[in-house]
Amino acid sequence: MICYNNTNNTITIHTKNSTYQMKIDSKGVLLHTYYGPRVRSGDFSNWILQEDRGFSPQPSEAGLDRTYSLDTQPQEYSSSGVGDFRIPSIEATSLDGSYTVDLRYVSHSIEDGKYTLDGLPSFYDNGGEWETLRVLLKDTCTNLTVELLYGVFAECDLITRAVKVSNSGTNPVSLERVMSTCVDFPSGTFHTITLGGAYGREREPVRMPLTQGIHTAQSIRGSSSHQQNPFTILCSPDTTEDSGDCWGFALVYSGNFLAQTEYTQFHETRFVMGIHPFHFSWKLKAGETFCAPEAAMVFSNSGLSTLSQRFHKAIRLNLCRGQWKDARRPILINNWEATYFAFDADKIVSIAEKASKVGVEMMVMDDGWFGERNDDFRGLGDWDVNEKKLPGGLSALAERIEALGMKFGLWVEPEMVNEDSKLYRLHPDWAFKIPGREGTRSRHQLVLDLSRKEVRDYILTNLRNTLSSAHISYVKWDMNRSLTDVFSLSLPSDQQGEVYHRYVLGVYEILEALHQEFPHILIEGCSGGGGRFDCGMLHYTPQIWCSDNTDAIERLRIQYGTSFCYPCSTMGAHVSAVPNGMTRRCVPLHTRGVVAEAGTFGYELDLNELSEEELAEVPQQIAHFKKNWELVTKGTYYRLGNPFEEAPFYGWMHVSEDQTRALASVVTGVGHANPIRGILRMKGLDPNRDYKVNGTVYGGDVLLHVGISLPILDEYRAVQFEIEAV
């Protein structure tokens, strides 16, 4: 619910459990006055103290009043160059070379439904659930107008924000910084939680207390990256999984991002998030508009679990789209870790034959099926089938796979090109390269310039031809390097700062076309695993390969960190071979299955190499996943412990919305002599109900507060508890 009070000039947003407020002050500055637990109506600006602060200057409207300074006002969208020395939300260069942007309130409107953003992913209205607030600000000197957009999804306590900047003047302006959200808090006693890591160690939660200065999470790699994720939590120091105040911020964007938290001189806090200003400059001509990506905000006063659960529901139902967003995904097997590049049609079919007998539903052919792609030195960009490997092309292979009762899918990496390819020899200028400089390779490949229409058309034409050439049900869309040498020959020198963003828009344009033209195809996002796991990609690909690291024990950590924002239904997770290719660790097949079952579930190995005992276990794993997929996908998710801490076990739970069914999963940690017995205390159950747990009846209150004593098991063993109300 969005309310405007014309007496005190406040605009208040109420969700089910939170309230957010802004106020138009007497000088036309749009102040931020509150974001926290839901409260009744009123003016919440009483915490703003107007007093003379040394070295905090006054705007002209203040006259001789030294108690009013933009440096001390909590702003809804912070200015730059006019006395607020905290993080600015916007920066722009005018024709005269000045950088100042000073915004004042013009008007606002409230409407039913959710705003949309052309060319950019965003949360969407699923049928009359949303409201939109539009607030117009203006810099009267440059004639820049800034439209602040707010989408309100009350049921999920979700508020989305986006920004449109228009040049209503006559001279061009260069935007150097446009943040998507800015929130000022009256306190600095926060912890920040960001998701750091590296390739193969994605989304490791990092919790730190705020100290004076600026704390940053960012990527300048051209994608959201393995190293940082466009998601940040601010929380009270005493916040736990089950109690305390916390605010989550997720950027719906897949390129360079910046999230900054500033603990100020007055022990207040400012948080901003948006496109990274690194090598960003957008030339805005007279009459043109720039749209910044969307940011999503969720508040919880009952701990981190509730915050995550609200994100999970909103992402699953109001960000992911299409027939696959809420459906059970086919149980697939991928040949990559079984064969790498060394395969032909008969080898693929032999893997599929074995898989079909144990209940696997889809065969996915990974890298190496096109051009001269027998290694990663050559062939990228040439999307013609290698008929030496696949006689008769994709259609012939797909028919053989379908004859086994399975669906067929394949891997693509359309954003990249090898220098040893027909495409590069024909169009070397289509790859990013700065004139006069030697190029930078990564994985022996270059990046295609998706800011150019002819490049996007080439990619889309080839994908259309490929996907129409056979009965293809699934595509794994990969991106195996970061962006360097970012320069487009199609743009003038004063627009090179637009290339990073135009590249991301190009990716979205192609994916949107595929979404519209091939709605039956399930597209899984991937960037060397989890290098582009973000809300932007989830708008087009309802699942993303969580990591190239498929070691089940490592995946416990990766999936744990991912769960702080992203639902289990989005996590691509497979049972892979042992010893694991990255860690050389050997983990029991049962444990590998339990961990993969917490995601989309599939296999990444050659079933022909399993023992008879292991092979007999595979159909049991598949049957168990099918039985519980709806609970895993649509149930409420709880973290039971922290796999980054030394403990006897780590666990998690999925609980049905009506609390009648649950599945608790536990994996033991590193083995020790004379081990400590673990006690599993469950979450999310009704304390006033009785539950049957693996055949034994317990009270819900007992399971929540007393718990179940776990058996002493060898390290890396898994046990699951099927829970049903009686």
Q: Looking at residue 526, what is its pLDDT?
A: 97
Burial readout 80-93 (b: 16 or more C-beta within 10 A, e: otherwise): bebbbebbbbbbbb
Model confidence band, residue 163 (pLDDT cutoffs 50, 70, 90): very high
Q: How far is it, in rounded angstroms, from Cα 628 to Cα 634?
A: 10
Active-site amino acid positions = 534, 614
Can the peptide bond before residue 579 be classed as cis, meaning omega within 30 degrees of 0? yes
Q: What is the mean pLDDT of the segment spanning 396-407?
A: 97
| pLDDT tens digits for range 185-240 | 998 899 999 999 999 999 999 999 999 999 999 999 999 999 999 999 999 999 99
Q: Looking at residue 639, what is its pLDDT?
A: 98
Beta carbons within 8 Å of 33's beta carbon, 6+ residues apart: 10, 21, 22, 23, 43, 44, 45, 47, 48, 74
Task: Catalogue all structural domains in the chain, each as residue range(s) with its CATH number.
Answer: 2-318 (2.70.98.60), 332-634 (3.20.20.70), 649-725 (2.60.40.1180)
Question: The whole model's pTM is what?
Answer: 0.96
The answer on pLDDT for 127 being more than 90 is no
Could you tell me which of 566, 555, 580 has the C-alpha nearest to residue 532?
A: 566
Burial readout 606-617 (b: 16 or more C-beta within 10 A, e: otherwise): bbeebeeeebeb
| pLDDT tens digits for range 530-540 | 999 999 999 99
Q: What is the mean pLDDT of the segment spanning 692-719?
A: 95
